[in-house]
Amino acid sequence: MGQQISEQQVLAALSRVQEPELGGDLVSRRMIKDVQVEGSVVSFTVELTTPACPLKGQIRNETEAAVLAIPGVTEVKVEFSANVRQHAGIPEQAAIPGVANVIAVAAGKGGVGKSTVAANLAVALAQEGASVGLLDADVFGPSLPLMLGITGQPEAVSDAHGQAVMLPLEGYGIKTISVGFLIDENQPVIWRGPMVSQLLRQFLYQVAWAPLDYLIIDMPPGTGDIALTLAQSLPLTGAVIVTTPQTVATIDVIKAMEMFKKVNVPLVGVVENMAYFLAPDTGRRYDIFGSGGAQRVATQLGVPLLGQIPLGMAVRAGGDSGQPAVISDAPDAYAELFRELARQVAGRISIMKYAGGEQS
């Protein structure tokens, strides 16, 4: 009969495994939970900072190897859970109850596929196991109802305090609210800035969002008055900027990024949309909008290039038909690239929040 394996031995072995993004070992970071030893079989849970952790596979391999090195261990069972940290927020920007992170998806100008990226990012985060909301703040061109194939009007109910709140509509595992649900889609939206700001505050604070790990906000394009007011007043964890590779688009991107920096919103990184085109018949790559623009901007401003999404017929068709590309298995839907983008965004936010010393 071999010696009994102890929980202390398991924790000692796991204390040699480093968190690959944040640094520090898994035990001192209090990421190891529920260690159990049954004979020669060891099981435990790793509590991640996001269910969309981009390095989950690496953590699994390294923890398994560390524990299998203990004499007498024949099998290791690793489970994953997630504790998404609450955003501390700036005092004058009221946090949204029950919402851990608020992420702006923005663009220096229109026509770069910002809403497409926002919709697919939200659905991809939900696929990874996160609870996700999507707020369509692009009030003059509310395209998310079409992109997600969601119709209807939000229902008004009373919350626990007797206050009237709207129930967001749901599709593809995410909660969504949009001005597009409230207006006739054939009528132009003629609103002045203060009316828009008031409506968006209702969408933030009078909608039953909770509980959410991530609330994605599809921002109005550009750096105009409404975009600036939103950037200043929202309790934003960070901003993701969408661009195409061409130089004229990246000039506008720098303006957008500078706007967020001026109002102390951290930049999560840059997404290059329509990065290139792969011909379906030959597989040949065409750089229709040039190449390298997003990487130059990211390097110039010291933020990561989070992902490059090619031009794909299925991406465009999915947006028109109400079926996001990330749920498709068509080769030119690039679903796995959208999922990897979601992991990069989630991982980067975890790093930013640990660096800022926020508590859960």
Residue 180 known to bind ligand:
no
DSSP string, 251-274: HHHHHHHHHHHHTTPPEEEEEEEE
Q: Are 42 and 334 in contact (CB under 8 A)?
A: no
Q: Where are the alpha helices (DSSP H) in the chain?
A: 7-14, 56-68, 114-127, 144-148, 193-205, 225-233, 247-262, 293-301, 313-321, 335-355
Residue 319 known to bind ligand:
no
Per residue in 303-328, is it b (16+ CB within 10 Å) or e — as a string? bbbbbbbbbbebbbebbeeebbbbbb
CA distance 218 to 266: 16
CA distance 307 to 316: 18
Residue 312 known to bind ligand:
no
Residue 56 known to bind ligand:
no
Residue 113 known to bind ligand:
yes
Residue 129 known to bind ligand:
no
Residue 23 known to bind ligand:
no
Give Cβ neighbours of residue 192 (< 8 Å, ≥ 6 apart): none
Residue 114 known to bind ligand:
yes
Tokens of 207: 């909608």
| Residues in the annotated binding site | 108-115
Question: Annotated binding site for ATP: which residue ranges?
Answer: 108-115
